[in-house]
Chains A and B, each alone.
Chain A
Amino acid sequence: MPEKIKILIADDHQLIIEGILSYIKDIDHLEIETTNSCDDAYAKIKVALTETPFQILFTDLSFDNATENSRIDSGENLIKTIKQEEIPIKVGVITGHSETNRVFSVIQNLNPNAYLLKGKCNTAELTFAIEKMLTGEIYYTHEIHQKLLKRALIDIQMDDVAIQILKELPKHPKISNLEGIITKEDGSLLKIRSIENKLAKLRTDLQANNNTDLVLKAKELGILD
């Protein structure tokens, strides 16, 4: 990394900021700024846009120091504002919130570039996350990843069409044979294109390399009996 990477860290607890700083102080080429409030973070990002913009923002989700006067009172709202204004900055979440509801809601609605958990994170993970973020990839820490995978499983389990496809897939050598077998909820038949799209999504969700792998994974994960 030849140039300096400008990072902003926002957390209401100074102790956490110190901790993160202690983790990443050994990483080279980093120019780090910190703040304790969302409003300040937003101001800093906006100001930096005119000269050297921040490339990465790490933020907590809940800011307990937010008052009624705060314009932005949570990490969620900070991310939302940045996305709305289309500010070119990668956003990573470093938080203690691992409740599935919150995790899922943040990931689905705000689509952050990274989701790390305070308790589990260390220098190596942070370095890896920063690298991934800079290349435009997404990094979720292992626990979050597992949560998302399980959630996908439940979704697939409730998706009758997906279950049909997964069950029928091993019986047919060609995918095109599936056409005319898979039925939708209203009884109409699914077109080959839709089946293929569904399969692609299933492979992504279950992180399968190919269709055979997909069926194996589904069995392994308990989707199929």
Chain B
Amino acid sequence: MRAFTFFFLYSCIFYGQDMDSISRLKKNTLDRGLSAYFNKNDEIVKESINQLYKFYTEDNDSAILAKIYQYKAMYHDLKYQIDSSFYFYNQSMNISKLTNDSLEVGRRLLSITILQREAKDFLGSEISSIEALQYLEPIKSYRYLQNVYSNLGLVSGEIKQKEDALKYFDLSLKANRLNKNSKRKERGYLHTINNIGLIHQQGSEHEKAIEYFNKGLKYDSIKQKYPDLYALLLENLTYSGIALGRKNFAEDHYNEVIQIREKEKEFSDLSITHVLLSEFYIEEKSPSKARFHANEALKYAKQTHNNKRWLEALKLLSDLSTGNQSKAYLNEYITLNDSLLQQERQLKNQFAKIRYETDKKEKENEALKIENEKTLAEAEAQKQRATIGLLLSGISIMFLLSSISFFRFRRKKLLFLTQLQKIEAREEERRQIAKSLHDEVAGDLRLLHRKLEKSLLLEEAQKLEMVKDNVRNLSHQLSSVSFEEVPFRDQVINLVSDYFSPEFIIKVNGLKEIDWSQANNSIKRMLYLSLRECIQNCQKYAEASKMTISFSIHKKSVLLDVVDNGKGFDTATQKKGIGLLNLQERVQELNGTLTIESEVGKGTHIIIQTPLNA
């Protein structure tokens, strides 16, 4: 037993660990994939996706499926396959919509909106951003709201809506203030400050722009904490400074930025710095340096598909070179520009198509869902109908059974009632006979008696007197006159007292304890007559000196138990007299039973059992 308990406990712990380790494993995989995405390591992202697939096949968790789509989107993003990335973000979002995970939906929309902005689908980006707000605002996810607002600001900046852009950045800053995650808070704040600066820079308000950039750069230990942001701010500050003619540290600043970005592998951004430096050197009339940086910019731009910088680099190179080479660069520029424009359009269309298809699917899903619900409801109704049918048939069977038993019971009762009526009719007959005996026969006898007395025939008169008494007794015995008026208890006592004598002691038990009003009159009459028969028999034949009469009730039947200490008889050999036969008949008429136990020399025991009521 102890061993078993131990095993049980052990397995419990093991199981618990197992559960724990699975969820931890999932989280690890997700974290690993996410950081790999930020570090632009597509292989690890792919690994994570495979890992997640395994989890998904194990437990079919739709949250995991959403994550798989998200990571796929991230993977394609790293591969610069924007349309695929967009597609998978959409898929992931749709699953999260089904599971009602607003945060996840908002996050995917944020990714989508950034994708769209980068692909210059500004209208689409704005729409997606607004949708993201609808999901994120109710759940007060300030961490992502700040990003969405920031994105909206950037989009507005791109379409030259300076006022809107500033408004959105302001909202982004507000959300930022409410954000609790300190690292993201700081990064978000610095990003927004930079963006606001950029907006002013675009509007050639360089003084204002510099104010914001400086604000960002003065942020506590920014260089150590967020070198990428430091580089960004520094770059923008330098650019605005140059625009204002402050070129003193421009070269150093740009070089510092390049240094940082090379260290941080920000190749896409490196192309920007190189373009800016190239431009700077053109201004400074050092074309060789300018050409070097233009080439560098072209290299990084190509590598990172930074089309904007690619074009800028080509243009710079075209300007910096002469003759055929310049023409070649220009051609390349034009071809690229055309293809980029086309690509842009295509992407926009692609986005729209994907959106449309997912919307369509969503609607189909909705329709399916409704259909499903309908069939479910149908099935439910069917089930209910079946249940109702079952119940109904059950009820009808029960009804049938009960009515059968009811009718059987009723028939029995009717039979019993006719029996009772028969008995009553017989009683009535007895009464009539008794009456005529009493009135006519006894009356005639009385007359005769008087005549005999008068004729002094005394002996005859005495005999006649005996006959008259007999007739009278017979009459009384037959009749049950005033029977109803005397309570059964008194009737029994009266009966017993008629036969009681010091030589024949009769003891009665249980008579007073029974509530005789619940017993049927015919039954009481039967009991009375039976008891009288018993006593008479005993007195006539048994030579008993003692008799005990006991009444008792068992459930719904009355038990009459008569014991005497007489000489008894052999029940096997001795025929039943007319009295006993009558007794048996009377008892059986009322569905009762009569049992006679007797042995020669050992007295007689008569048991009568009868229902208490009809």
Which of B48-56, B167-175, B491-499, B583-591 faces chain A?
B491-499
B447:A15 contact, CB within 8 angstroms: yes
Minimum Cβ distance to chain B for residue A122 (Å): 12
A64, B482: Cα distance in complex, Å: 15
Q: Which residues of B from 441 to 499 have beta carbons under 8 Å from A?
A: 442-443, 446-447, 450, 465, 468-469, 472, 476, 481-483, 485-486, 490-491, 493-498
A147, B494: Cα distance in complex, Å: 8
B500:A119 contact, CB within 8 angstroms: no
**Which among A96, A97, A98, A155 is the interface contact of B493 at CB below 8 angstroms?**
A155
Could you say which residues of chain A place their CB within 8 Å of the CB of B508?
A: 154, 157-158
B497:A150 contact, CB within 8 angstroms: yes
Minimum Cβ distance to chain A for residue B306 (Å): 111
A81 lies within 8 A of chain B by Cβ:
no
A84 lies within 8 A of chain B by Cβ:
no
A15, B447: Cα distance in complex, Å: 8
A102, B476: Cα distance in complex, Å: 10
Could you say which residues of chain A place their CB within 8 Å of the CB of B446?
A: 15
B501:A100 contact, CB within 8 angstroms: no
Q: A101-B491, A119-B469 are in contact. Are A19 and B450 (CB under 8 A)?
A: yes
**Which among B443, B468, B486 is the interface contact of A119 at CB below 8 angstroms?**
B468
Q: A101-B491, A104-B486, A119-B468 are in contact. Are A13 and B497 (CB under 8 A)?
A: no
Q: Which residues of A from 145 to 188 have beta carbons under 8 Å from B?
A: 147, 150-151, 153-155, 157-158
B490:A104 contact, CB within 8 angstroms: yes
**Which among B472, B476, B497, B503 is the interface contact of A147 at CB below 8 angstroms?**
B497
A150, B496: Cα distance in complex, Å: 9
B408 lies within 8 A of chain A by Cβ:
no
**Which among A98, A100, A119 is the interface contact of B495 at CB below 8 angstroms?**
A100
Minimum Cβ distance to chain A for residue B368 (Å): 81
A151:B502 contact, CB within 8 angstroms: no
Q: A151-B497, A158-B512 are in contact. Are A101 and B482 (CB under 8 A)?
A: yes
Minimum Cβ distance to chain A for residue B516 (Å): 14
Could you say which residues of chain A place their CB within 8 Å of the CB of B491?
A: 101
Could you say which residues of chain A place their CB within 8 Å of the CB of B512?
A: 158
Q: A151-B493, A157-B507, A222-B505 are in contact. Are A102 and B481 (CB under 8 A)?
A: yes
Q: Which residues of B from 505 to 536 have beta carbons under 8 Å from A?
A: 505-509, 511-512
Q: A15-B446, A15-B447 are in contact. Are A154 and B502 (CB under 8 A)?
A: no
Q: Flag B48-69 by CB within 8 Å of A: 1 or 0 each.
A: 0000000000000000000000
B264 lies within 8 A of chain A by Cβ:
no
Minimum Cβ distance to chain A for residue B452 (Å): 14
B490:A101 contact, CB within 8 angstroms: yes
A132, B468: Cα distance in complex, Å: 30
A64, B491: Cα distance in complex, Å: 24
B494:A104 contact, CB within 8 angstroms: yes
Could you say which residues of chain B place their CB within 8 Å of the CB of A101?
A: 482-483, 486, 490-491, 494
Could you say which residues of chain B place their CB within 8 Å of the CB of A119?
A: 465, 468-469, 472
B501:A222 contact, CB within 8 angstroms: yes
Q: Flag A23-56 by CB within 8 Å of B: 1 or 0 each.
A: 0000000000000000000000000000000000
A115, B176: Cα distance in complex, Å: 122
The interface on chain B, measured as residues whose beta carbon lies within 8 A of the other chain's beta carbons, has a size of 37
A105 lies within 8 A of chain B by Cβ:
yes
A221 lies within 8 A of chain B by Cβ:
yes
Q: Which residues of A from 123 to 138 have beta carbons under 8 Å from B?
A: none
**Which among B438, B481, B494, B511 is the interface contact of A100 at CB below 8 angstroms?**
B494
Chain B minimum-CB-distance residue to A109 = B485
A96:B438 contact, CB within 8 angstroms: yes
Minimum Cβ distance to chain B for residue A67 (Å): 16
Could you say which residues of chain B place their CB within 8 Å of the CB of A13?
A: 443
A176, B39: Cα distance in complex, Å: 117
Q: A19-B450, A101-B491, A104-B490 are in contact. Are A154 and B438 (CB under 8 A)?
A: no
B364 lies within 8 A of chain A by Cβ:
no
Chain B minimum-CB-distance residue to A106 = B482
Could you say which residues of chain B place their CB within 8 Å of the CB of A153?
A: 497, 500
Could you say which residues of chain A place their CB within 8 Å of the CB of B482?
A: 101-102, 105
A222:B502 contact, CB within 8 angstroms: yes
B357 lies within 8 A of chain A by Cβ:
no
Minimum Cβ distance to chain B for residue A185 (Å): 9
B476:A99 contact, CB within 8 angstroms: yes
Could you say which residues of chain A place their CB within 8 Å of the CB of B494?
A: 100-101, 104, 151
Minimum Cβ distance to chain B for residue A88 (Å): 27
Q: A158-B508, A222-B503 are in contact. List 6 more A-B contacts (CB 8 A).
A: A100-B497, A101-B490, A104-B494, A105-B485, A150-B498, A221-B502
Complex A-B: 21 CB contacts under 8 Å: A15-B446, A96-B472, A98-B476, A99-B481, A101-B494, A104-B486, A105-B486, A105-B490, A119-B468, A150-B497, A150-B498, A150-B501, A153-B497, A153-B500, A154-B493, A157-B508, A158-B508, A158-B509, A220-B502, A222-B501, A222-B505
8 closest cross-chain pairs (CB), A and B? A100-B494, A222-B502, A150-B497, A151-B497, A222-B505, A99-B476, A154-B497, A101-B486
